[in-house]
Structure 1
Amino acid sequence: MSGICEGRVVVVTGAGRGLGRAHALAFAAEGARVVVNDLGVGLDGSPGADSPAAQVVAEIRATGGEAIAHGGDIATTDGARSLIATALEAYGRLDTLVNNAGFLRDRMLVNLDEDDWDAVLRVHLTGHFLPLRHAAAHWRAETKAGRTPQARVVNTSSGAGLSGSVGQGNYSAAKAGIVGLTLVAAAEFARYGVQVNAIAPAARTRMTERAFAETMAAPDAGFDAMAPENVSPLVIWLGSAASAGVTGRVFEAEGGRITVMEGWRPGPSADKGARWTPAEAGETARRLLVEAEVPRPVYGA
């Protein structure tokens, strides 16, 4: 039986473990040929002993699927360029890019140094931008050659990017930036046949196991709500041709729940038609806040 991604070529970054691994295996199970990217670093981004990408490729091939490993650093221009080139050289096409790679360096803001700020923004935000930019350049060239693709990009944000998370100022800023990047890319790349969406997943991975240790319930005998494999079905659909017409959206995915996030939109407003005094502006702002919806609390507050 043909899967929903039969014949598609899919690139997944950070696919050696956790969510990325689950996505890569799920895409392969649905008929895709998969480029498995993983640098093989530790939780904090330091170099690991070896890359797990080859292990995921072996798993896919053991079940009759097609996959190839890529161990480059996708937060560099050369690494991102070679990632896209690997897909094109191995399989002759590129249909879907799933940006997933990342790590944590958690600190309260008063203890967060510049290196930890830069490192997290580099891998999450730059590590989304560069593969996206090189993939889109390929799809633009295809469109100009008269071969408009049914291309898909799935970016990975987080609840921390949507609501903030105490002790994760760098991570929250990067994940919020990914939402902005997603919205702009969806608007700019539509003319090239590219749809761009983002997910904000919640699952048990190396990055979350310590944060969730005290709050996660033990897996139910029939359903482990925090398994990363629960997030993958939505990613597979967004990465397939079946998601036609869906772009510029952000979805939360956790366990058996999928939520369309509605983001920033105008709420209560007042227009004086002239310049406010500070006192008037403050009085008006307080009145509008009473009418406005209360924002979701910051995680950990």
Structure 2
Amino acid sequence: MQSLQDRVVVLTGAAGGIGRGVALGLAAAGAKVVLNDIGVSLAGEGGDASAVEALAADIRASGGQAVANRDSVAGAASAARIVQNALDQFGRIDAVINNAGNLRDRFFFNMSEAEWREVIDVHLHGSFFVSRAAAPHFREQRSGAYVHMTSTSGLIGNFGQANYSAAKLGVVALSKSIALDMARYGVRSNCIAPFAWSRMTDSIPANTPEELARVEKLKRMGAEKIAPMAVFLASDAAREVNAQIFGVRANEIFLFSQPRPVRSVHRSEGWTPESIAEVAMPAMQHEFYALERSPDVVNWDPI
């Protein structure tokens, strides 16, 4: 089904893993795709354009329309060039899928300023800059779709990823703000938390039997499984879907909750530190969330 026939989609982080699967899914759905990837490693090393160029060539050879782009998402000017590339090549833009990512895993107490900033720049700033560049065009045509990749590292938590977790939870808040600000123009914004084996998950440490078992499970979750949800959210079939957070894990689709009050306590005379300790906390503690990581919460076998 050509659900994106003649629609123009910008996809960042397109060259490998989840990005490649989404790119092929978009092309199969009839989209004209700007494939953005700077061609560096997760650590920011290298600069090889061959993978994204080859992907664009493969799509064109199969009868699709695609162009490769190597501008960085991490700067406003370069992100604007990505969107302009879509306009120059295809005359319009209909959807943005923010998938570009990197990792600088380190325990919080050892994390450097550079490791913090480099991850925030790509995931959070990059999602903002590319989305912001597309916004005037979406407003003018009174249509458009944003799809942002978040992570359960931000939604739930994980070891050694303060930078990545903060960025990915920030992406959720960014998506909600975009949805609120752009709904009047017929523009929607949603998030996907993908579970898939890719370059990002390939860096997960596997030093214990439990970690090895987790990695083996992840290896069975193909990156191509994320594509159908991304294609759906970019298409008109999702016109009534806005400001949501979905998870995709092999053949499972999740809808994630969003923060809402779960319990309140009231004291007519107000609170003191002592009464908070004696009354408020005991009343609320049964609703406290445990100190859990993503694999502690999503702990069942999807296969």
TM-score, with normalisation over the residues of structure 2?
A: 0.91
Kept after mapping to 2: 8 A contact 1:12/1:37: yes
Q: Does 1:175 align with 2:175?
A: no
More helix by share: 2
Kept after mapping to 2: 8 A contact 1:10/1:35: yes
CA distance in 2, matches of 1:269, 1:209: 42
CA distance in 2, matches of 1:285, 1:52: 56
CA distance in 2, matches of 1:212, 1:61: 38
Shift of residue 178, structure 1, vs aligned partner? 0.4
Shift of residue 57, structure 1, vs aligned partner? 0.2
Give % identity: 39
Q: What RMSD, in angstroms, separates the aligned Cα atoms of the two structures?
A: 1.8
Partner of 1:102, secondary structure, is: coil
CA distance in 1, matches of 2:147, 2:295: 27
Matched residue, 1:184: 177
Matched residue, 1:114: 113
Matched residue, 1:11: 10
Give CA-to-partner distance per residue, 1:67-105, whole Å, 9 cap, x none. 001110111111111111111111111111000001101
Matched residue, 2:286: 291
Shift of residue 225, structure 1, vs aligned partner? 4.2
Q: Does 1:273 align with 2:268?
A: yes
Matched residue, 1:53: 52
CA distance in 1, matches of 2:290, 2:187: 32
Q: Does 1:241 align with 2:236?
A: yes
Partner of 2:5, secondary structure, is: coil
CA distance in 1, matches of 2:47, 2:7: 31
CA distance in 2, matches of 1:180, 1:212: 29
Kept after mapping to 1: 8 A contact 2:74/2:121: yes
The 1:255–1:126 alpha-carbon spacing in structure 2 relative to 1, beyond 3 Å, is same
| Matched letter for residue 200 of structure 2 | M
| Matched letter for residue 119 of structure 2 | V
Give CA-to-partner distance per residue, 1:226-246, whole Å, 9 cap, x none. 101011111110010000111
Shift of residue 212, structure 1, vs aligned partner? 7.2
Kept after mapping to 2: 8 A contact 1:40/1:50: yes
Matched residue, 2:142: 148
Kept after mapping to 1: 8 A contact 2:100/2:123: yes
- Aligned counterpart in structure 1 of residue 201 of structure 2, from 208, 223, 229: 208
Kept after mapping to 2: 8 A contact 1:225/1:254: no
Matched residue, 1:96: 95
Kept after mapping to 2: 8 A contact 1:250/1:261: yes
Shift of residue 251, structure 1, vs aligned partner? 0.6
Kept after mapping to 2: 8 A contact 1:225/1:256: no
CA distance in 1, matches of 2:249, 2:267: 44
Kept after mapping to 2: 8 A contact 1:125/1:178: yes
Partner of 1:98, secondary structure, is: strand
| Matched letter for residue 255 of structure 2 | V
Shift of residue 38, structure 1, vs aligned partner? 0.3
| Matched letter for residue 13 of structure 1 | T
How many residues align structurally?
290
Moved beyond 6 Å, runs of 4+: none
Partner of 2:191, secondary structure, is: strand
Shift of residue 279, structure 1, vs aligned partner? 1.5
Runs of 5+ unmatched residues, structure 1: none
Shift of residue 218, structure 1, vs aligned partner? 6.8
| Matched letter for residue 201 of structure 1 | P
Kept after mapping to 2: 8 A contact 1:120/1:174: yes
Matched residue, 1:73: 72
CA distance in 2, matches of 1:50, 1:90: 19
| Matched letter for residue 168 of structure 1 | Q
Shift of residue 43, structure 1, vs aligned partner? 1.2
Q: Does 1:199 align with 2:195?
A: no
CA distance in 1, matches of 2:283, 2:220: 39
CA distance in 2, matches of 1:51, 1:192: 38
CA distance in 1, matches of 2:44, 2:77: 18
